[in-house]
Amino acid sequence: METVIATERLNKKFGEGDLQINALREVDLTIQRGEFTAIVGPSGSGKTTLLNILCGLDLPTSGEIRVSGKPLSSMNGTELSRFRRNHIGLVFQAYNLIPVLTVLENIEYVMLLQGISPRERKDRVRDFLGRIGLEGKEKRFPSELSGGQQQRVAIARAMVSEPDLILADEPTANLDSETGSQLLDMMRRFNREQKMTFIFSTHDPMIMERATRLITLTDGKIVQDERRE
Amino acid sequence: MFWKLAWRNLWRNRTRTLLSSFVIAFGLSALVFVDGLMEGMTVNMVRNATDTFLGHAQLHRQGFRDELDVKRTIADLDQRIASLEQHPDLERWSKRVLSQGMLASSAGAEPVLVIGVDPKRERDLSKFDEGIRDGNYLESASGNDMLVGSKLAEKLELQLGDRIVLTGIDADTQEMVQELFRLGGIFHMGTREMDEAMVLAPLQTLQKMLLLEEGVHEVAFRFSNLDRDGFPQTPVMLPVDDRKNKLQLWSELMPALNMMKEWSGVSMSIISIILFFIIGLGITNTLLMGLYERMFELGVIKSLGTTPWQATRLMFYEAACLGLVSVLFGILLSILFTWIFATAGIDYTGIEFSGVTFQEKIYPALRWERLVQYPFWTFGFTMVASLYPSWKLFRMMPVEALRKRKF
């Protein structure tokens, strides 16, 4: 199978001296294309830090990380931005749509950065709107949508540019269980149909139930790595 | 998309944007208005000075104005006047005799500058006839009527018809000469120098008294078709071989007025810099507040793959939108302010400044090119003011911004 992401002896420390915190310790992780992975663990275990490092938002104190074979440690700010734009889709807990852009504009934003033609952008957005059940709402602003609808748009924004990897940090935390379940089913469907790779950071049992791989982090260390089919 | 994003971001906090825009627009309109006011004031002062007495240009014998030496009459007077009459824009001219002297009445004596004029020609060139407060303007170039400034008349306790004695020095023997005049009129020009120390006498009487024969010391000229600064559009000059006489434009004759005109330009530059600096600070503040308020959101935008340069562009576009709106608003305000005051005028009548007394209302004069220059600079400063917030955004680490809220 194709390796999408691989980390080698990843360490991340915050602070200095007595106040130093080891957020990640010697994390070795390999994610294959098409995996639907949940990283679980108590608060403060390093889940968000790991996701930040995997998408190049934060840098490890030591260790190496390769996404689709590319080492992140040698990239500068602009290269990391381009890397995220072209290889990573992000889904945030609080949706984090750009409030002044419409549904259509939010979804096409990353494609615009990628330089995809307006026609193709529109086609892809319309296709995705149908798949996430938001046809006819492309001109709405985020404030005019429910939480579940906003998160659907956020998922569409993450997936429409066809990234190698989608990182989602507690994507269901702000949703009721029914909406959360629907969204997870939708993401699982995309995962199965398009072999999209997902990594979740979560406490949500619904995600854990659906995950094909469950990685448990405690005090910054992987203490359990369970594969399920 | 970035333009759209910038435009919509700008109006997220409508009140703040409107306030900032108003500050910029008001600053711009204040600049245009003050510039127009200074322009109007200068035009008014130049017109007052040239219309009241000076004329647009004067001809003298070389060195005459340094010491007012009565011997130094204009050389080849008729030829010079004839040659200057060829100027296409010459409207009129007036010959004058100028001399320092002492004017005595029964109440005392005062030093004066006596000007001998041909009343008919002088009436068309200066405004002494309009300034007569008591009595009458001179009737002929001969005779013994004299016009005296209002303050001088007070000092010498003069009444119309009083006899007054002018003492001067003749041009031939440099001996003291005296002539008896009768007070025919009192003028009030509103300028201290003229009202306190200037007297007008018939040209021929003074020429006779000072033994000048047909000689004069000064010819003042008025021209039409002036440029915006009050200068004849067609150059006025003497023949190159005339080394005896000197022709000077009003700017040389009243250097203080010319200097004031130049200084008004410097003042405007200083005012502009101060105002642009204040505007710049306001814009930087507005953009920074917007930046800090949207720190998390901008973190999201950057985390989605927006490069630092693209994020910087976004900030520039926001500044450009703010600048453009403000500048358009400012142009409208400028036109409105200037139009209101240009219609109503500002009453400075009677106030003396740089040796010139305002005799009519000042009407701000809007120079249309200022509606391009000042908005251009305002817009430019808006963009310069956005450099710091843009730099902050460029340097902003998305992960730091995202830590402001839960990822």
Give the nearest partner residue to A105 out of B1, B399, B406, using CB atoms. B1
Number of DSSP helices (H) and strands (E) in chain A, helices first: 7, 10
Going from the C-alpha of B401 to that of each of A80, A154, A200, the distances in angstroms are: 16, 19, 21
| B35, B367 contact by CB (below 8 A) | yes
Q: Is B228 exposed, middle or buried (0-12, 13-18, 19+ CB in 10 A)?
A: exposed
Reported as a single tens digit per residue, the pLDDT across B65-121 is 888 899 999 999 899 999 888 899 999 999 999 999 999 999 899 999 999 999 999
Helix and strand tally (H, E) in chain B?
A: 15, 12
What tokens were used for B149? Answer: 């400034």
At B354, is the pLDDT very low, low, confident or very high (cuts 50, 70, 90)? low
User: What's the whole-number mean pLDDT along residues B186-204?
Assistant: 90
> A180-189, A197-206, B351-360, B386-395 — which is least confidently predicted?
B351-360
Report the pLDDT value the prediction gives residue B41, as an integer from 0 to 100. Answer: 82
> Would you say A168 and A183 are in contact if contact means Cβ atoms under 8 Å apart?
no
Q: In B294-406, where does DSSP find H-type helix?
A: 295-303, 308-344, 370-385, 387-395, 398-402
Residue B24: the pLDDT is 87
Element housing B197 (H / E): helix B192-197
CB contact under 8 A, A113 and B305: yes
- B301 → closest Cβ in A58, A77, A98: A98
Check CB contact under 8 Å for A101 and B300.
Answer: no
Residues of chain A found within 8 Å of residue B302, distances taken between Cβ atoms: 81
**In this model, does residue B407 exceed pLDDT 60?**
no
Q: What is the mean pLDDT of residues B316-342?
A: 89
Q: B402 and A57 in contact by Cβ < 8 A?
A: yes
Q: What is the pLDDT at residue B362?
A: 80
Q: Which of B357, B353, B362 is nearest to B151 (CA)?
A: B357
Q: Which of B399, B11, B307, B317 is nearest to A112 (CA)?
A: B307
CA A170 to chain centre: 10
Question: Given this model, what pLDDT does residue B356 score?
Answer: 64
Per-residue three-class SS string for B51-119:
HHHHCCEEEEECCHHHHCCCCCCCCCHHHHHHHHCCCCCEEEEEEEEEEEEEEEECCEEEEEEEEEECH
Size of interface A-B (CB pairs under 8 A): 72
Confidence of residue B331 (pLDDT cuts 50, 70, 90): very high
Phi then psi for B188, rounded to 5 degrees? -130, 110
Residues 131-160 in A contacting B (C-alpha not used; CB under 8 Å): 157
Does B353 score more than 80 pLDDT? no
So where are chain B's domains? 2-48+258-402, 57-225
Q: Residue B144 pLDDT more than 70?
A: yes
Length of chain B: 407
| Mean local confidence (pLDDT), B282-301 | 85
**What pLDDT does residue B156 have?**
93
**For chain A (length 229 residues), average pLDDT per consecutive 10?**
87 84 90 91 88 87 84 83 87 84 90 89 86 84 88 87 87 81 85 88 89 92 86
CATH architecture of A3-227: 3-Layer(aba) Sandwich (3.40)
User: Any bridge partners for residue B198, and if so which?
Assistant: B113
Is residue B296 a contact partner of residue B404, using CB atoms and an 8 Å limit? yes
DSSP letter at B346? Answer: B
pLDDT tens digits for range B122-143: 998 998 898 899 999 998 888 8
Of residues B23 and B186, more confidence is placed in B186
For residues A192 and A182, what is the distance between their CA atoms, to the nearest angstrom? 15
**Bridge partners (DSSP) listed for residue B59:** B219, B247
Q: What number is the average pLDDT over the span B250-258?
A: 84
Report pLDDT digits (tens) over B295-315: 888 888 888 888 888 889 888
